[in-house]
Structure 1
Amino acid sequence: MSISCQKHLFSLESGIHYINCATMSPNLKAVEEAGFKGISQKSQPHLITQETFFDTTQPVKEAYAKIINCPDPERIALIPSTSYGMAIVAKNLAKKPHLQAGQEILMVQEEFPSDVYAWEEICQEKGLIIKTVAAPNTLQHRGKIWNESFLNAISANTCMVVISPTHWADGTRFDIKAIGEACRSVGALLVLDGTQSIGAMPFDVQQIQPDAIINVGYKWLLGPYSAGVAYFGPFFDEGTPIERNWINRVGSEDFKNLINYQTAYRPKADRFNIGERSNFILNPMLTTALGQITAWGVANIEAYCHQLLEKPLQILQENGYWVDDLPHRSKHLVGLRFPKHTDPVKIQQALKERNVLVSFRGEAIRLAPHVYNDQNDIDMLLEGLLAF
C-alpha cells in the first residue's frame, strides 16, 4: 500500500511550504476536533465519572504500543516531555546492579540537550562519566564511520547507552539493532530517544529490545504539545517514579477507598505516569494522531518522504550540496551541508521570501517533510536553495 499527499487532512495555511516536522508537526483536523471535544467536556463535569479518568489513558497506551510493536500496552507510560522521561531513567539508574564510579554513560556528540542534562545529578552522586563519541571530521562516509566508532566505544565499562535512532540535528541514522546487541553483551542499559524517528521510521521494540524509549508527541507522532509516551522494559518494573501520585497506585480506580492509602503501585509502567495523566484534552488528541499514523502505516509515511526527497537531493548534490548516503541517514529527516563559498544567510533569506520553512541546526539545513507536503513545496525548496 502506498499513500498520496494528505495535505487536505491538516490545518496548514495555504501558501506556506512547511518542511519542518522535526520541529513541530501541524495538527490534523481530526486532532483539533478531538481537542475541542475535550475542552467542551470540562464544561459538563457531571458527565465526567471515575471511569473517565482511566478511559482516556488506555487508548493512548494501546495506540503507541501498536506503532512500536509492543505486545504489552502496560509497558507504556504517559509523560509530558523528554526531560521528564529521561529523569525517570536517571532516578532508577542508581539501582542498576554492580554500578560503580568511573563507569560511562555513552552518547553521541551534540545529542539533544534534554538527553544530556538528565545525568548531571546521577553522575555527581555515583561518580559516573558521560562519554561522547564525536562525529567524524570528514564528510566522506560520515554516517558509516560514526556508527563504527560508536559501536567500538561500547565496552565493559559502559553502564548505559543513550541514543536517538535518528540524530535530531542532521538525520544521521544509527544502527540501534547492532547497538542493542552490543549493550546486552556487556550488561549496559539501552535508552532511546524516539522523538525524531518513531512514527516516521519503522520500529520494532521486540527486535531492538531497548530498556526504555522516551518519545514526545508533538513532532512525528503528530500529537499536541506536552503530551508524550514512554516505554519501560523489565529493568524498570520495580522502579521509583518521579511523582508519588494517587492514580498510579493499586486500586486507584475505586474512588470510595482512596483514603485507604496504598504503598503498592499499579504494575509495570503505570507507576511512571505523570500526575493528572487522565488529561481529557491532550490524551484524545494524541490517541487520534496515533490512530491516523497506524492507518497510514509508518513504512508508507517513510516511503512518501523518501519519494518526495529522492530526486531533489540528487539535484542538490549535483549543485554542490552534501548529503550522507543511505542507509546511514534517515529518509524523513535529512541534513544538507552548504556548497563551498555559499552564503548561508542569503540562502535563509531566499527560503524565507518563498515561505519555505526548514530548520538550521549546527552546520546542516534540516529537511523534515511529512505526508502534508507535496511537489510544490519541494519545488519551492529547490528554488530557494539554488537561488545563488
Structure 2
Amino acid sequence: MLSCKYSKFSLPKNITYLNCSYLSPLMKSVEKAGIRGVRRKRNPMDITPESFFTDAELLREQFAKLINASDPKRIAIIPSASYGISTVAKNVDIRKDQHIIVAAEQFPSNFYPWQALCEERGAEIKAIAPEPGLTGRGKKWNEKILNAINAQTKLVALAHTHWADGTKFDLEAIRKRTTEVGALLVIDGTQSVGALPFDVEKIKPDALICAGYKWLLGPYGIGLAYYGENFNNGKPLEENWISRLNSEDFSKLISYEKNYQPGALRYDVGERSNFILVPMMIKALSQLNRWHVENIQEYCASITAKAIDRLKEKDFWVEDEQYRGAHLIGVRIPKEMDIEKLKQTLLKNKVYVSFRGDAIRVAPNVYNDESDLKKLVKVLTAQTK
C-alpha cells in the first residue's frame, strides 16, 4: 500500500485539506516543471520546431497509460472539460424522436452542450434523478438510469462519480446496455480519473473527457480527452495548423493541407504545445502512473474507513461502499444540524471541504492521512452534542 505523500506537496501544516474535488494542490515537482517552462521562453531560440510536438506526444503516452488506452493517438489535448464535451456534441447526429440521458444535477459542462444540441435538433434531454430517500440511493439511481436507456436513446453522458456527492455509476453495466440499443457513452472523468481506476479497454467509452486540475494533479487550463472510433472522421471545434497532416514541416505550412493528423489529434486545442502547462501535466501524470491509480484508491479507502464508521454512528449519512469511491465521499448531516454554522466551524478549524447541494463533499488524496479524517470527524460530531 502507498504511504502518505504529504512531503511531495507544499500544503501548510496547520490546515486540513480534504478538497481535491475542488482543486488539487500542485506537487513540488509539477510546480518546478511550470517554472522551468516559464523560464524557457526567455530564450526562444532554444524552442525548435520539434519542441511543438515532442512533449505533446509524451503527454498522450502518459495519459493513455493511465487509462489503459492502447493507442496514444486517440488522446486529444484540450483546455477544459467543456471543450472536450462540446467536441463530441458537434459530432453527434441526433433526430427529433431521440433523446440524451444525463444524471440529474451533474456538472454544468456535461449538461449545457447536450441541452444546446437537443434544442437545436428538436430532441429531448432526460435528466435521471435519484429516488427520494437515502436508503439504497446509489443502487436505485443506477437502476433508474439503466431502465431509462432504450431504442430512442442516442447518447448517455455521465460522470464516473457524481461531482456533487460522489455517487458512483456502474459504467460497465451502462456500457452493456448502451451497446444493446446502439447508443453512445460519453464519460466526464474529471472527478474520478487519477484516483479511481478507469480502464478504456474494459469500459469502452465512445469518449472520456478529463480536466487536469483535480485528480490528475495538474495545472488549471489543460485537460485530456480520449475519442473512440465513432469520432475518427469528425469535425473539430476549431481549425488550427498543428492538427493538419504534415504540420511538423514548418517550411510547407502555407501548402494548405485538407487532411488532419491521425486519430484524435484533429481535436487538439490550438496552441496545444503550451510550453508551461504541458510539461506540468506530464510530470503529474508520470507520478500518478508510478503510484498506480488502484493504489491511490486503496490508500484513500484505508484512511477514511474509520472516519466513515464514526460518522454513521453519529447519524451522518454516507453512501454504501459499492456506490461511491473512496476519494470523493458525500456526507449528509443530521436534520437538526445548522449547515451554515457548520461551514463556519469547519473554516474556523481550518478544515477545507466543499458543500454541494445538501452534501458535504469530502475529497482526500495521497497528501492526507488518517489524522486529517479524525480532525474532520471531531469537528463534525462536536456539532451534534
TM-score range, shorter chain: over 0.9
Partner SS for 2:139: helix
Q: Distance in 2 between matches of 1:175 and 1:206?
A: 15
Residue 277 of structure 2: aligned partner: 282
Partner SS for 2:382: coil
CA displacement 1:15-51 (0-9 Å, x = unmatched): 1110000001000000001001111110010000000
CA displacement 1:74-130 (0-9 Å, x = unmatched): 000000111101110110002xxxx42121100111010011111233212211110
Tell me if 1:371 matches 2:370: no
User: Which runs of 5 or more residues in structure 2 are unaligned?
Assistant: none
Number of equivalences = 383
Q: Where in structure 2 are the equivalents of 1:103-118 lying within 5 Å? A: 103-118=98-113
Q: Which amino acid aligns with 2:214?
A: K
Partner SS for 1:93: coil
User: Which runs of 5 or more residues in structure 1 are unaligned?
Assistant: none
Residue 79 of structure 1: aligned partner: 78
Aligned residues of 2:304 and 2:370 also touching (Cα < 8 A): no
Q: Where in structure 2 are the equivalents of 1:167-316 lying within 5 Å? A: 167-316=162-311
CA displacement 1:169-228 (0-9 Å, x = unmatched): 001010000100111111100000000111101111011010001100000000000010
Cα RMSD of the aligned pairs, angstroms, is: 0.8
Aligned residues of 2:103 and 2:129 also touching (Cα < 8 A): yes
Q: Where in structure 2 are the equivalents of 1:22-37 lying within 5 Å? A: 22-37=21-36
Q: Distance in 1 between matches of 2:320 and 2:370?
A: 22
Aligned residues of 1:56 and 1:279 also touching (Cα < 8 A): no
Aligned residues of 2:190 and 2:215 also touching (Cα < 8 A): yes
Partner SS for 1:118: helix
Tell me if 1:320 matches 2:304: no
Q: Which amino acid aligns with 1:163?
A: L
Residue 158 of structure 1: aligned partner: 153
Q: Which amino acid aligns with 1:81?
A: S
Aligned residues of 2:77 and 2:223 also touching (Cα < 8 A): yes
Residue 41 of structure 2: aligned partner: 42
Q: Which amino acid aligns with 2:92?
A: L
Residue 15 of structure 2: aligned partner: 16
Cα deviation, residue 349, structure 1: 1.8
Q: TM-score, normalised by structure 1?
A: 0.98
Q: Distance in 2 between matches of 1:352 and 1:361?
A: 16
Q: Distance in 2 between matches of 1:290 and 1:199?
A: 8
Q: Distance in 1 between matches of 2:374 and 2:203?
A: 37
Q: Distance in 1 between matches of 2:16 and 2:97?
A: 49
Aligned-residue identity in percent: 50
Q: Distance in 1 between matches of 2:24 and 2:120?
A: 38
Cα deviation, residue 269, structure 1: 0.3
Partner SS for 2:378: helix
Q: Which amino acid aligns with 2:239?
A: R
Residue 92 of structure 2: aligned partner: 93
Aligned residues of 1:350 and 1:387 also touching (Cα < 8 A): no
Q: Runs in 1 of length 4+ with deviation above 3 angstroms?
A: none
Q: Distance in 2 between matches of 1:11 and 1:55?
A: 29
Cα deviation, residue 379, structure 1: 2.0
Q: Distance in 2 between matches of 1:130 and 1:78?
A: 28
Q: Distance in 2 between matches of 1:235 and 1:288?
A: 31
Q: Distance in 2 between matches of 1:356 and 1:188?
A: 43
Cα deviation, residue 10, structure 1: 0.5
Residue 144 of structure 2: aligned partner: 149
Aligned residues of 2:157 and 2:185 also touching (Cα < 8 A): yes
Aligned residues of 1:320 and 1:340 also touching (Cα < 8 A): no
Aligned residues of 1:86 and 1:114 also touching (Cα < 8 A): yes
CA displacement 1:46-83 (0-9 Å, x = unmatched): 00000000012011100000010001000000001111
Q: Distance in 2 between matches of 1:131 and 1:288?
A: 39
Q: Distance in 1 between matches of 2:95 and 2:253?
A: 40
Q: Which amino acid aligns with 2:243?
A: N
Partner SS for 1:22: coil
Partner SS for 2:146: helix
Q: Distance in 1 between matches of 2:73 and 2:159?
A: 23
Aligned residues of 2:103 and 2:128 also touching (Cα < 8 A): yes
Aligned residues of 1:136 and 1:142 also touching (Cα < 8 A): yes
